Amino acid sequence: MKKFLGNSIFKAVGWTYDADPTILEKKQVIIGFEHTSNLDAILSIALFQILDLKIHTLIKKELFKGPMKPILEKLGGIPVDRKASKDIVSQMVEKFQSSDTFNLVIAPEATRAKDGSVMWF
């Protein structure tokens, strides 16, 4: 069902993907690209569902409020206080070492200006 939904999302937006599941490991860090649209997150989630890959991703803590909190947690979100988290690398190394499987997705910040252009952080 997850693969069907993931493929349906790609079909609905007219996108395709080229993924080789044989390169996936039990533990890995996946570096993404600057996300300049909320569609990027939706397509990424859809692709990970298609690949049957349980991922974890660092997300600013401000998004973990109200009804979004359980959704983000279910999707593997890890809340990060961007002003106070000086030790996030050590925390991720510890999670990586203590887990049998751990797929950490990192997408650089791409805060957008009101005109839609990417703002540097």
Domain ranges of the chain: 2-106
From the list 4, 39, 31, the residue with the least C-alpha distance to 104 is: 31
Question: Residue 121 — very low, low, confident or very high, per pLDDT cuts 50/70/90?
Answer: very low
Can you tell me the distance from the alpha carbon of 71 to that of 18, in angstroms, rounded to the nearest whole number?
A: 27
Q: What is the percent of the chain with per-residue pLDDT over 70, rounded to a whole number?
A: 84
Amino acid at 108: P
* Average pLDDT of the chain to the nearest whole number: 83
Share above pLDDT 90 across residues of the chain, in percent, rounded to a whole number: 31
